[in-house]
Chains A and B, each alone.
Chain A
Amino acid sequence: MVRRFVISPCVLWLPLACLTLSAAARTRPHYGGTLRIETQGDPWQMPDGIARRLVLDTLTTVSDAGSAQPALAVRWESQNAAHRWEFWIRAGVHFQDGEPLTSDAVAAALTDVCSRAGAGTCPWRTVRGVGSSVVFTSDSPVADLPEMLAQTEFAIARQDVKTAVIGTGPFRVTGYTNGALTLAANDDCWSGRPFADAVEVRTRRTVRDQWLDLSVGRADVVEVPPELLRQAQQQRMNLLVSRPADLLALTIAPSGPFASREMRQAATLAVDRMALYNVIFQKQGEVTASLLPAELSGYAFLFPSDRDLDRARALRGGATSPPIMLSVSDTSATMQLAAQRLALNLHEAGFNLQVATASRPTVALELQKVHLEATDQGAALDEMLAHFGENGSVTGTDAAALWQEERGVLDKETIVPLLWLPRAWAVGERVRDLHLLSDGEPDLSDASLEGGK
């Protein structure tokens, strides 16, 4: 598939995908062993912390095609034009401390999620347990609720007296020492005991340290940032590369120097996505001006991503620009470089930008990397809009309606999508059957180790 500007994603992913298609497991997976994974981030961070997926389950999961599949809920039904939903809870499921999973426990966990996240985050007004089912009610229809409930944000968790997180997932927490989170297999997991006996997550490891540990056999799965994918390929690492999973976007506060839409539009037209794509991110991912990846929406090309410096200058006018602060949500060197490149772009249009070395609460511009978990079009757009503080009103897979919704938001010129980036992982030779979830995170519960029992 040829998209504007971008050829390399398919060129890169196709051979990888071909290899993965043909290389399926032939001997049965072995049980046993400890799977060691290293990350730069917090294993519990929302929404993509690696430990969340290992310990917790959601009511539903989503298939590769984006449709909801049973998980802790075995079936569901919408009533009253999607204002009311009923989810039937799987029988015989237990938390890792032996407590049975009940509809009341599910409702309590989801209520807790909403109270922690703040009002307005959850798409329902009430949730309660009724017999073996959980009933959601909402003031407006939520057609995508089954898909939304697959997001780890809505994972079902309990806290014990020691504040350890307890779920129904394939692994349970056993300790956290010296920056390493240890998890043990949940023998009674409703979805089957995982193959590995344990998982060790070493946190806050630099990519350099991760790669070193992989090379000497101290780690089994390590991160590969998109800008280092080519280098990893040259080093002949065993790579798993996801579809686009992270959106690099610039947000513009509609106040101060950017109070007028013309000024925001000028900034939008001044950004040079191709420079970011070619130079900073080493031609990985896809250039975008859309909140959804092209393969998910099919209409991303409708949002022009070309730079128009002349028009940007014309819209900005000739007035002297006050100093404007550009903040970066992520302190990584690559994000700092990207911010500096954007500052240069905007400077060429007449803006006087300074890059802040750390994220600040009130700045005019902020460069963000936003993770997308949903794979259903409607749920994905809702997820992105919610992240940027916008309220979505369209659900389902009506592409035209979703485009209208997205266009309405982007027309405000407060969000400037720049690049969709993949997630990638390098995998040690003793790991078998590791695959990536739809949002690019590794599914460690189905992985096994050579030499396990």
Chain B
Amino acid sequence: MQNARYNPPQRIMVKMCWAVVVAALACLTPAARAATWEQPAAELAKQIAALSGPGAVKLTIRNESVLAAVEVPAIQRLIERDLRGFGVVAGGKDSATLIRVTLSENLQGGLWVAEVVEGTETRVTMLRVNLGGATSASGPPNLVVQRALMITQSDPVLDAQIFTVGTLARLVVLEPEQIVTYVRSSAGLAFASAPAGGGWVEDQHFAIAHTRPYPRDMRGELVPAQDHLFDAYLPGVQCAGTNTGAQIAVTCADSDDPWPVSGPIGNQVAGSVGGPSGVPQRAFYNAMRDFFTGVLAPGYGMDLPPFYQASDTPRPTGTGLLLNTVDGRLLLIENNTLKPIAGASDWGSDFAILRSECGSGVQVLVSGSGAAAVGDSLRVYEVVGREAVAVSPPLPVEGAVTAIHANNNGTGATVIVRRDAPLRYEVWNGSALCH
């Protein structure tokens, strides 16, 4: 048996995150580091002075938090300086007043505790300290594809796509309970109110009403529409987004309509529109589970097993439909024949077809299957004959890839990555990288 797996980060991970913050702080100059603690040191000195009154004291300080040891002398100097401002002079070794300062922490952040000991009496004061916020200083995921971080947010993301009307590009983010639209900030920088990354600023948001409970493994998809801007598909719910001039309007309703599975590739490759038979295919989604039932409309006249994802893929003879089944097989419908594809045992549940200027020009971006001992990964494959051939090494992803959707133009993919401690969702735009 293997050691612990699957358990999400426990509280210790919060401390690890702080450790990252502290490490980042350690990279600051001494002056900058000292400035970080100016305010809390002053406040604690004020509280201590209120308990001890003026006079000589013996001051000790110890660190029981994730603060780097190098920080402690600076903090002590600040506290001593600020105490002097209140007439409390540290350094009296024989003083009857002992002040013990402990740099502690709890779940809310840093907690600086001062004990003022005079004889048998001990008085205590505490100060909550911001250790810098629980934001990771670690770098972006090391993807095998060209990538650009679009947004980061704490709420779950199901899909995100950019829709352009005229010259205005809008990023539409599909969440389980709402659709949020963003526009580029004029300064090109992320506003404080916007999720980190990409320079997008929130524009509009629309609640998604649904009468039935969602499944636990929530999925959703944004698809460009023919006669309006986009459709959003969620389990049991369909929304339509329309452009109303400067703004977008979204309407949602319960729906069991099938989801489109003929992706952008099929819609854009000349002579191969919409699946092997040239007709756009749609698939019925099981609104209480996390997969498609296997029933397609109009279908191919054959029984299909339940599958997680399906997408058109150009083939030498036209267009095929690639299916990733619930039982872990990769199938290809080509020339009205269902064929198993070998070499996909390492595939996760989600994939996207990419057009590129590399290799055959069409690749499949796939997440890892979890068979590897550690971490998630992304890898690019080409389907050659009846075999999926890896055309890139697997590259690790920090976090778990929760969804991959082909972009509207088919040249890239939206990759959703969930990262923990703290929980956040990153939306990346990925595309195949030519060497």
A295 to B218, CA, bound (A): 33
Q: Are A242 and B10 in contact (CB under 8 A)?
A: yes
A238 to B216, CA, bound (A): 24
Is B5 on the interface with A (CB-CB < 8 A)? yes
Chain B: CB-nearest residue to A193: B288
Q: Are B326 and A453 in contact (CB under 8 A)?
A: yes
Partner of B113 from A10, A65, A187, A302 at Cβ < 8 Å: A302
Residues of A contacting B80 with CB < 8 Å? none
Q: Are B289 and A31 in contact (CB under 8 A)?
A: yes
Chain A: CB-nearest residue to B420: A21
A287 to B118, CA, bound (A): 27
Partner of A446 from B11, B216, B373, B421 at Cβ < 8 Å: B216
Q: Are B399 and A24 in contact (CB under 8 A)?
A: yes
Residues of B contacting A3 with CB < 8 Å? 64
A302 to B104, CA, bound (A): 11
Of B85-93, B258-266, B364-372, B406-414, the one touching chain A? B364-372
Residues of A contacting B328 with CB < 8 Å? 27
The interface on chain B, measured as residues whose beta carbon lies within 8 A of the other chain's beta carbons, has a size of 63
Q: Are A14 and B12 in contact (CB under 8 A)?
A: yes
Q: Are A2 and B64 in contact (CB under 8 A)?
A: yes
B327 to chain A, nearest CB (A): 8
Q: Are A24 and B3 in contact (CB under 8 A)?
A: no
Is A119 on the interface with B (CB-CB < 8 A)? no
Residues of B contacting A46 with CB < 8 Å? none
Tell me which residues from 1 to 32 in chain B have a Cβ below 8 Å from any Cβ of chain A.
1-16
Of B120-128, B187-195, B240-248, the one touching chain A? B120-128
A376 to B420, CA, bound (A): 20
Tell me which residues from 231 to 262 in chain B have a Cβ below 8 Å from any Cβ of chain A.
none
Q: Are B348 and A26 in contact (CB under 8 A)?
A: yes
Residues of A contacting B9 with CB < 8 Å? 17, 20-21, 64
Residue interface bits B366-395, CB-to-A below 8 A is 1, else 0: 011110011110000000000000000000
Is A176 on the interface with B (CB-CB < 8 A)? no
Q: Are B106 and A377 in contact (CB under 8 A)?
A: yes
Residues of A contacting B8 with CB < 8 Å? 20, 435
Q: Are A17 and B13 in contact (CB under 8 A)?
A: yes
Residues of B contacting A190 with CB < 8 Å? 213
Is A325 on the interface with B (CB-CB < 8 A)? no
Q: Are B3 and A17 in contact (CB under 8 A)?
A: no
Residues of A contacting B181 with CB < 8 Å? none
Q: Are A238 and B369 in contact (CB under 8 A)?
A: no
Q: Tell me whether A16 and B3 are in contact in the complex, defined as CB-CB below 8 angstroms, given that A28-B291, A298-B104 are known contacts.
A: yes
Is B140 on the interface with A (CB-CB < 8 A)? no
Q: Are A24 and B65 in contact (CB under 8 A)?
A: no
- A-B CB contact pairs (8 Å), 29 listed: A1-B105, A2-B64, A10-B12, A16-B7, A17-B10, A17-B13, A20-B5, A20-B10, A23-B374, A25-B370, A26-B369, A26-B400, A26-B401, A28-B350, A66-B107, A192-B216, A236-B3, A239-B3, A241-B10, A295-B11, A295-B15, A295-B106, A296-B107, A297-B106, A302-B124, A377-B106, A400-B125, A427-B6, A434-B6
Binding site for B on A (CB under 8 A): 1-3, 10, 13-17, 19-31, 64-66, 92, 187-195, 233, 236-243, 295-299, 301-302, 375, 377, 397, 399-400, 403, 427, 429, 431-436, 445-446, 453
